[in-house]
Copies of this chain bind each other. A is one copy, B any other.
């Protein structure tokens, strides 16, 4: 796990090992040549930042990125470099582990369990079993499999404008993405969308309700109940509710206090599992708490938490944490989960 301590005991490593001049890299191609080759080989639907004049970044350290001419940019938008670009402590650890042993998780390895122990200690009691994956998308996809197996239900409840990943199973429930597609007018039958509790631009707004947070919370919660009841009246059965505790791509939305509590209580009492997607906002990014769902009420207990992006400071690692009785359903049903890279010793050390 990327250590969150930047200015503490790791700085000695930073000072001694981080001679920047060592990492001045040869720039193989001119920027025009890189763009030309990219046009040939990289599909145009994988877009660059800055359409008019995209940046060619050749070096990044701490909070800065540098282009091929040596221009320095303060990076305010990066979604991965959690403890600063190219933190030498993380990189040294990855290098050491890659040099010692890099294999798959069908062997015993200490890093696998050490990381699991450290992560689960930051989470509510009961959330103690961890699946390692390579991306937040893989973690969300796996959670849906588990929830369906555990509940016997198939359907999925999400917030409007959600983004939960790029896989087939997730695109169809990420209305943020789904809406961008031309030929699809409505969501698939098994996906139920509730209005995002956005008191600024949402269905119910603070200016219309005199900033009454209790009232707004109730109105948005009533929407959840209405949509679940409607679905059930049509014979649909919901397995899982996925949500981003701080909706990210959808506009950095903070929900009214009490909303998640009410929603959890209602859904969990019906046997619907709740998944907090912490891929974007987790690992301390919300400031006050290590996980953003804890920033509402500290004793909220989701059934699943998914982690990603910042977890390895750039090294691909992600995870799904859940309860033992949920993972046991896979064991009982004889389902094996194997992910070639997931939980390999190098990722865990990152």
Contact = CB atoms under 8 A, between A and B. Distances in A.
Interface stretch (A54-62, A219-227, A296-304): A54-62
A338 B116 contact: no
Contact of A28 (B110, B183, B314, B337): B110
A242 B30 CA distance: 39
A328 B328 CA distance: 44
A150 to B, nearest CB: 12
A322 to B, nearest CB: 8
> Which of A37, A44, A94, A110: most chain B Cβ within 10 A?
A110
B166 A339 contact: yes
A168 B141 contact: yes
A130 interface: yes
Contacts of A44: 327-328, 331
A95 B100 contact: no
Interface stretch (A232-240, A255-263, A286-294, A340-348): A340-348
Copy number of this protein in the oligomer?
A: 2
A64 to B, nearest CB: 11
A101 to B, nearest CB: 5
Interface residues on A, range: 35 or more
Interface of A: 18, 22-23, 25, 27-29, 31, 34-35, 37-38, 40-49, 54-60, 65, 78-81, 85-86, 88, 90-91, 94-96, 98-110, 112-114, 116-117, 120, 128-131, 134-138, 141-142, 144-145, 166-169, 171, 180-183, 308-309, 313-317, 324, 327-328, 330-331, 333-341, 343-344, 346-347
Contacts of A171: 145
Report the 3 A-B pairs with minimum CB-CB distance, sorted nearest first.
Answer: A41-B116, A43-B327, A37-B113
Given A41-B129, A48-B107, A337-B43, A98 B86 contact: yes
Contact of A46 (B98, B99, B105): B105
Contact of A135 (B31, B49, B134, B334): B134
A102 B116 contact: no
B46 A102 contact: no
B314 A98 contact: yes
Given A94-B98, A180-B336, A333-B183, A344 B314 contact: yes
A45 B324 CA distance: 11
